[in-house]
Amino acid sequence: MSLDKTHLPAFVIQDLFQKTLVDLTNNDKNQPVTGSKELNVFGGNKQHIILLVNNPDAAFVTDQQLTFLSGILNACKLTLEDIGLLNIAPYPAISYKTISDTFNPRIIMMFGISSDTIQLPFVMPEFQRQSYNNQVYLAIPSLLSLENNKELKRKFWTVLQQIFSL
């Protein structure tokens, strides 16, 4: 029996080749992000607090990171409805201006994200509050780093107490 004359139904071939080798769509990911319809945020943002993460492997954060983040928010007397969680991985050209125009935040916490990633005109050391444009910016190590390091958690808690008057 020869395989040269075997004919497969179209649905079988379609199942075998679900992914293409060449992407013919014109998705230039370095286009500047503008407009609120393009940014996907998790949470209600009722307190105008934006948390930025860069997680290419999840829509926002992993379940474990969400549990950890919920604990932090609870300690600050906040909920997921109070904040907006934005994963910037799908938006490599996003800027602080776009974030500001879209969400009107009063506090922006950048987890594992440097100031130049969102095109801020200054450099910030981690755990140091920076006021700019009537907003408070805070650079923090990634959620994964925080979760596994007591010293980083302690530094983060100290800054949170100052920001939220706890």
Of 81, 142, 133, nearest in space to 109 by CA: 142
How many angstroms separate the CA atoms of 49 and 99, rounded?
11
> What does 30-75 look like in DSSP terms, one character per residue?
TSPP-SGGG--EES--TT-EEEEE--TTSSS--HHHHHHHHHHHHH
How many Å separate Cα 138 from the centre of its chain?
14
Best CATH choice for the domain 34-164 from the list 3.90.1570.10, 3.40.1400.10, 3.20.20.30, 3.40.470.10: 3.40.470.10
Secondary structure of 121-162 as H, E, C letters: CCCCCCCCCEEECCEEEEEECCHHHHHCCHHHHHHHHHHHHH
How many angstroms separate the CA atoms of 82 and 110, rounded?
16
Locate the domains of the chain by residue range. Answer: 34-164
pLDDT tens by residue, the chain, 166 residues: 566 677 767 766 666 666 655 555 545 444 444 444 478 898 999 999 999 999 988 888 888 999 999 998 999 999 999 999 999 999 888 999 999 999 999 999 999 999 989 999 888 899 999 999 899 999 999 998 998 899 999 999 999 999 888 7
Task: Write the pLDDT tens digit of every residue in 23-70.
Answer: 555 454 444 444 444 788 989 999 999 999 999 888 888 889 999 999
pLDDT score recorded for residue 29: 47
